[in-house]
Amino acid sequence: MLILVEPTSAVDAHSEARIAERLAKARAGRTTLVVTTSPLVLDRTDQVVYVQDGRLHAQGTHRELLDTSPEYTATVTRGED
């Protein structure tokens, strides 16, 4: 298992997109836990678990959570619509 915490926090958006794509391909079929608020990284994941104040609030794909969880949407868009 690989655990990553904000793996793209210090890169520009172009590099972030490339890292997210390559990470998904390189880790296919393996367990990877990524802690992030990056929409680019989250969109490449199989499953998102949204935790707030230590409690599970929502679970699904990034796009499902964007459609169903206003709190999740506010977190990953940083309040920008």
pLDDT digits (tens, 9 = 90+) for 45-64: 999 999 999 999 999 999 99
Q: Determine the 3-state secondary structure of 78 from DSSP.
A: coil
Q: Domain containing 12 — which CATH number?
A: 3.40.50.300
The partner residues of 76 in beta bridges, in order of sequence, read: none
User: Domain count of the chain?
Assistant: 1
Residue 81 belongs to some domain of the structure: no
Cα separation, 44 vs 47, in Å, equals: 9
Expressed as residue numbers, the domain containing 52 is 2-76
Is 47 domain-assigned? Answer: yes
The answer to the question of residue 19 being in a domain is yes
Question: How confident is residue 70, by pLDDT bands cut at 50, 70 and 90?
Answer: very high
Residue 60 located in a structural domain: yes
**5-32, pLDDT tens digit by residue?**
999 999 999 999 999 999 989 999 999 9
Predicted pLDDT at 78? 80
In this prediction, residue 80 has a pLDDT band, given cuts at 50, 70 and 90, of low
Helix H or strand E segment including 33: strand 32-35
Q: What pTM value is reported for the model? A: 0.84
Q: Give the whole-angstrom CA distance, residue 8 versus residue 33.
A: 14
The answer to whether residue 23 sits within a structural domain is yes
